[in-house]
Structure 1
Amino acid sequence: MARTLEQERAAIAAEARKLEERQQRLEEREREQAIADIDKAGLLKLDAGRLGRLLGRIRALGIAEVEKRLTA
């Protein structure tokens, strides 16, 4: 426990910075995993135009609709 209020504030700020950095590292790992999953599915092998059209269609329909159509 900190002895003064200023020390306590400084300790809390340091913990908040560490937590923020940890959150950023987690987001980076999640992004890397998503890219690896996309690559594993073969989508990164598509030419740029075809991939762009596919992603545009997904954006237009929305994720929920795409999932619904793929499972139907």
Structure 2
Amino acid sequence: MARTLEQERAAIEEEGRKLQERRQRLEEKEREAAIQAVEKTGLLKLDGKRLGGLVARIRTLGIEEVEKRLKA
């Protein structure tokens, strides 16, 4: 534990910075995992226009509605 209030404040700020960096690394790993999942489905092999249309339709309907329709 720090001896002074100023040292304690500095230690807390350092811990916060480290935590933020850790969160950022986790987000990067999650993004990479999502890209890998999409890549495995073959969607990245579609031509740009077709993939763009599909993504636009998903945006229009919303993720929940697309999932619901795909389950049906």
TM range (shorter): over 0.9
Aligned residues with identical type, % of pairs = 72
TM-score with structure 2 setting the length: 0.99
- Aligned-residue Cα RMSD (Å) equals 0.2
Q: Distance in 2 between matches of 1:45 and 1:30?
A: 21
Instruction: Give secondary structure in 1 for the equivalent of 2:3.
Output: coil
Matched length: 72
Q: TM-score, normalised by structure 1?
A: 0.99
Matched residue, 2:12: 12
5+ residue gaps, structure 2, are none
- Measured against aligned partners, the alpha-carbon deviations of 1:5-51 in whole angstroms (never above 9, x if no partner) come to 00000000000000000000000000000000000000000000000
Gaps of 5+ in 1: none
Runs of 4+ with deviation above 4 angstroms: none
